[in-house]
Amino acid sequence: MPEGKQPELRVVTMPADANPDGDVFGGWIMAQVDIAGGVLAHRRARGRVATVAVNSFLFKQPVSVGDVVSFYADILRIGRTSITVAVEVFAERNPSNPITVKVTEAILTYVALDAAGKKRELPPLPD
């Protein structure tokens, strides 16, 4: 896992998140990645954001029921109204002999919205 960073989101996978073989649905992972990236984008935008693009998404290994899944996000690019975020996903598994594996990586773009749902400029970074 990324050294010295805190995850934007950490979740324990449950049976309802998986198929009958115990593999977590890719769509569930995608939704959690979107939430984790959105948390960081929301913080930078200081308000409402919406996902406008999933630029890339790579599943590297399956996620199983009972894995503790951590989502780490970093801002890659800031535009006038948009924020592009990279999200890396790690699964901690096998509690009796713990291992951590990178399971997913993605890049998403969010746009800042005003109260009416229209694009707005990002506020300047604080001094």
DSSP alpha helix (H) spans, the chain? 26-45
Predicted local distance difference test score (pLDDT) of residue 115: 95
Architecture of the 9-112 domain: Roll (3.10)
* Residue among 92, 86, 38, 44 at smallest CA distance from 64: 92
Predicted local distance difference test score (pLDDT) of residue 127: 67
Order across the sheet with 82-93: list the strands: 9-12, 68-78, 82-93, 99-112, 49-59
Instruction: Print pLDDT tens along the chain (127 aa).
Output: 778 889 999 999 999 999 999 999 999 999 999 999 999 999 999 999 999 999 999 999 999 999 999 999 999 999 999 999 999 999 999 989 999 999 999 999 999 999 999 999 999 987 6
